[in-house]
Structure 1
């Protein structure tokens, strides 16, 4: 046989790993073009259920392995992956809303979900309103024939109020309104989004659960990714169709990174949870602090709803400082921290601190008064030693008091 040119030989090289070869890490399959064994396979209609080995954009075996594992984590049957948590929110809203519809969001929703509703969805003729996640009767009164999707978030963004999920879901089920839970905080570990009352009402839960896999699933603060899970094949097919229309694709090295982080998610979640409770309780005793928001602390908004569903609480807490401390002084407090980075996101190895001016991100007012407190700082606790974090906070309080 005449030897072909080097480029041809390298492109069509016959070596393949033997059948049955296996290892602990999931193989990383990078592909845009996927090959068919013949034209009959090429012309076979593609599946409607999301797994398609026809082109690299929907996914590769690596992608679908991660999707299956996230579905298991979330106690779901189906999962669609997206390039970020925000992309997962956008996918969900666009898949289930049309011009003339209305979506309801909790007033403490993730800020980018608010921006999508105020911007993209408004331009598409989709209305939105915000509701108090702790006031079920008022929420129930808002539901109308136009309401086609309700976003839930547990716990709420930044201030971590824990909603009355059971009451909100009952109201939605009574009206036949679809529900989507931002479950990034719970990560599929704190509670089962699809089965909140397993002993009393099996299967009572949200219709859809999304996560920013950027957070706990990755754990490395180095990947952007999201997921939307469901137990309903019809809903999954609608997500898959919109996913295809949006052209969402994932880098396979990012998928590999999340697959690598996933086996330690429960260990990290519980370790960060324990450290966060320790520091949140300590922060309650500081004279500079008016209030600490953390679902596991009695008195934190929605604590009783949290206690009814779970015993786990993740890596976040927020401290509301007394009005005597102006925003500029709180900035100096955050700047003085040495074990805490200044940056968004959470659930990575490094602890983070960010000051927030909450009046700019609420539509219904705040659950505290100006007399009670001023600027709020949200803390995300990483994997450092608790004693080091506490000492760092203590020295920053000295800067605050100067």
Structure 2
């Protein structure tokens, strides 16, 4: 075998080829969506010895298994399991990791629906949640209780984009017997190797960058070890979770261009973020990849790149003025997602629900996703919007 064939592959090559099986695709470039629920057997012995995906469509189809395999390879995990959405991946991983009487340490910058899940479902199960400051790092040791079974992380954090010291948190948590979960949607497996940094379960909303076209809902849990995978997979199966083979196909399609899209998202976002930083209506840009921004040094140490999502803290402005800005946007439309080819913006107030490290509840923030449009066109759209806000009579 030649030296070239045994050399480590670059990321762009890996995303193009992981999860591909010529036997499943029948010679086609892409594995098609295998639709089916019932698996047929000719012999009683075969029926009785069947298990998992070989027995029933709920356990997955070849299309879904190809996507799981590819994502596990990219993340460096033992295996992966798909779920119908990013939130379902998070809640499944949490439920599989706790029992009544346990405590969860939850990062205070967490995706808000996860906070709601903790305060409703987990609370009814007698699982307590303690919210900790995102930047606590190794200091989390002082917060871990005897009954803490999970330390949950999200880096950068939702809305406020704090970069957590994941290696330090993992080292302390593992020393005290706690499992570390991470929402790794922002960085993806390509930009932040979560499992290599010690995370036990890396969770992604594939709806975002992996699908990449805003046309499918998917989530995934990637387990660091085979033991962790089997533990969570048993719970995953008991919940009856399954995904459409058509959605899995769209995930595979998006995976092939993930590297090149992320590179363009970062290039565009950097230009837009740098421009916004200079505008008189802007107090701060929350984009860790931006030199001088909060979390930049940790991001530079641990991440291989950045995606296109960041926050903007505006200087004091009336609600009517902010509405005037947003209502007139041409390219930046409002929508509760991100990661697709299109640019999005929504107003957010993350200080309204923080408890461990309160922010000024009155801060007016924008969450911006920079898509694949030309950055100068996006800057022109934002410039017009900021001028509308500045000149609004309110």
260-269 or 169-178, larger mean C-alpha shift = 169-178
Counterpart of 1:38?
A: 43
Q: Superposition pairs for residues 3-402 of structure 1, below 5 Å? A: 21-44=26-49, 46=51, 52-136=53-137, 138-196=139-197, 205-323=198-316, 325-367=317-359, 369=360, 374-402=363-391
After TM superposition, give the deviation of residue 103 of structure 1 in Å: 0.8
After TM superposition, give the deviation of residue 227 of structure 1 in Å: 0.4
C-alpha distance after superposition, 1:355-391 (max 9, x if no partner): 0122223122435x57xx8200010011111111000
344-353 or 137-146, larger mean C-alpha shift = 137-146
Kept after mapping to 1: 8 A contact 2:25/2:32: no
- Alpha-carbon distance change, 313 to 264 in structure 1, aligned in 2, over 3 angstroms: same
After TM superposition, give the deviation of residue 148 of structure 1 in Å: 0.1
- Alpha-carbon distance change, 102 to 20 in structure 1, aligned in 2, over 3 angstroms: closer
Kept after mapping to 1: 8 A contact 2:24/2:62: no
Give runs of ≥4 in structure 1 deviating > 3 Å.
18-21
Kept after mapping to 2: 8 A contact 1:134/1:302: no
More helix by share: 2
Kept after mapping to 2: 8 A contact 1:172/1:178: yes
Kept after mapping to 1: 8 A contact 2:153/2:180: yes
After TM superposition, give the deviation of residue 137 of structure 1 in Å: 5.3
TM-score, normalisation: structure 2 = 0.90
- Secondary structure of residue in 1 paired with 2:220: strand
After TM superposition, give the deviation of residue 22 of structure 1 in Å: 1.3
Larger radius of gyration: 1
Kept after mapping to 2: 8 A contact 1:355/1:376: yes
The number of equivalent residue pairs is 369
After TM superposition, give the deviation of residue 19 of structure 1 in Å: 9.9
Kept after mapping to 2: 8 A contact 1:272/1:381: yes
- Secondary structure of residue in 2 paired with 1:389: helix
- Alpha-carbon distance change, 124 to 274 in structure 1, aligned in 2, over 3 angstroms: same
C-alpha distance after superposition, 1:176-231 (max 9, x if no partner): 211011110111011211113xxxxxxxx111101000011100101110000013
C-alpha distance after superposition, 1:227-248 (max 9, x if no partner): 0001311111111111111111
C-alpha distance after superposition, 1:20-57 (max 9, x if no partner): 931101022111111113111100052xxxx5221111
Kept after mapping to 2: 8 A contact 1:164/1:302: no
Q: Distance in 2 between matches of 1:304 and 1:366?
A: 23
Counterpart of 1:199?
A: none
After TM superposition, give the deviation of residue 133 of structure 1 in Å: 1.7
Q: Distance in 2 between matches of 1:339 and 1:249?
A: 35
Q: Which runs of 5+ in 2 are unaligned?
A: 1-22
Q: Distance in 2 between matches of 1:57 and 1:263?
A: 26
Q: Distance in 1 between matches of 2:336 and 2:385?
A: 20
TM-score, normalisation: structure 1 = 0.88
